[in-house]
Every structure is written in structure tokens, then in C-alpha cells.
Amino acid sequence: MAFTIIPIASVVIPVYWNVDSPAVHRFKYKYPMMFSSGLGCNLSFPSCLGYPRDSEELIPKMAREPIILNVYDMYWINEYTTPIGLGVFHSGVEIYGTEYAYGGHPKPKSGIFEITPRVAEELGEQFRYRQSVHIGYTDFTEEDVTRIINELGKDFRGDRYHLMNKNCNHFSSQFTLILCGQEIPGWVNRLAYFSSCVPFLQRCLPKEWLTPDALQHSLNQVSHHESTPPSDTSL
């Protein structure tokens, strides 16, 4: 439990923070300086609390953007897991018209990529769209989401991907937890709970199966950009 003093219109208000709550976890992403520097809150408040009415325009409106989890069957991998009673699913989180997901690759860079929501063809021929699950709502803006994705990319790197221990569903669950305080349904990542039963599975699968087409396309674009010399514009 943390304690902060917030001055509002010459009145000192003590605020008790449950530092482990999802709300505070999301607040840290929106206002990191308050937690990293120990500074008090400098947010604007409406005129009913003593501030000019013009300052109300500075208060961000609640976006209430829906958060959707899109789930896909990975039916090539399911040929290995169905005999032992396990289904393998890929998932991505849809927000503001973009679906974010995570996949593996050999480079020490972010493995997070974007696709058109629910378009399985962008993932590859082994993926089939299964269903969508409404997780909740968020007041994060599109700019906030971009910043969160960039931060998550430092942990969810392509070379850290593991089918059981750090997969696309682990990313989806972490992302939705930040956005709205809710994790994804347990059945989506059921394989992770049985990882001790199938330790051989990832070694048996072709590595390209763990890199969706959309992620590989993104990597190819980055490689092409890095290998292309800058044009000479000098006179």
C-alpha cells in the first residue's frame, strides 16, 4: 500500500494506492513520471473543485474503447496435440481497428506485429479464425496503445518466443491486463498449463510454423530498409 498527498484547490487530500491493483498498474503506464520520480499529481480537475472552467478541456475524455480477443485454430500443430487431448490456439488483441499479436523469430527484436482483425490469411495457411471474445473496455488512447506496445516489445522479443512458456497467448493476456485489468480466458492458453506433458513439442515443429506470415513480412521490410543505403541528395 502506497501513500500520496494530492493538493486540490488548497485542500490536501491523502490518497491510498493499492500498488498491486490492475487500476494502479494501468495508471503507471499512463503517468510513469508520478511513480518514477515520487512527484505529486499535477492533473487538472474540473471547476467544481476550484479550478477555472477552461481547464476542463485539459481533462481527457473516457474513450471506453472495446478490447476484443480474436482466437485462431493452429490446425497443423493440432495434428500433434489432438491425440493427447489438447487444442492449440493463436490469439491477437483487437483495439482501435488493429489486431496485435506475438510470434517467434531468431532476432533480438520485438516479436509483436499487426494484422487486419480476424483476417487469418495474413497469418498464414495453418491459421483458421475460430471466434472473438469481448474482454472489456479501456480509456487508453491510440497513442497510449502505441507506447504500451513499444514497451511490451522489449520483453516479448522474437528470440524469446517459446510455444509453452512465452507464446502469443501470454502476450495477449499481458496486453489485456494492462488495458483493462482482465486476462484472457484460460482455455485459450491451455497448452501452457500442460507444458510438462509435452516438452518435446516445440522441438518437433518446424520453426517457420511459429513465425506468422504477417510477422515475417514485417521483418523482411525492416531488413530491406536497414540494408538500403541512403540516397545521395548532396549537390
At 27 the pLDDT is 53
CATH numbers and ranges of domains, the chain:
62-223 (3.90.1720.30)
Contact 156, 166 (CB under 8 A): yes
Cell numbers representing residue 216 in the block: 515475417
Contact 178, 25 (CB under 8 A): yes
pLDDT tens for residues 133-142?
999 999 999 9
Cβ count near 100 (within 10 Å): 22
Catalytically annotated residues: 90, 168
pLDDT tens for residues 48-79?
444 444 544 544 555 589 999 999 988 776 66
Q: How far is CA 106 from CA 180, 185, 215, 219, in A?
A: 31, 29, 12, 11
**Residue 87 pLDDT level (bands cut at 50, 70, 90):** confident
d(CA 173, CA 60): 26
Is the whole model's pTM more than 0.75, yes or no?
no
Which of 153-162, 209-218, 223-232 tops mean pLDDT? Answer: 153-162
d(CA 206, CA 223): 22
**pLDDT exceeds 60 at position 9:** no
Which of 152-156, 216-220, 226-230 tops mean pLDDT? Answer: 152-156
Tell me the backbone φ, ψ of residue 65, rounded to 5 degrees.
-80, 130
Cell numbers representing residue 114 in the block: 499487426
At 227 the pLDDT is 55
Tell me which amino acid residue 206 is: P
**Average pLDDT, stretch 201-219?**
63
Cell numbers representing residue 108 in the block: 533480438
pLDDT tens for residues 25-34?
565 565 554 4
At 215 the pLDDT is 73
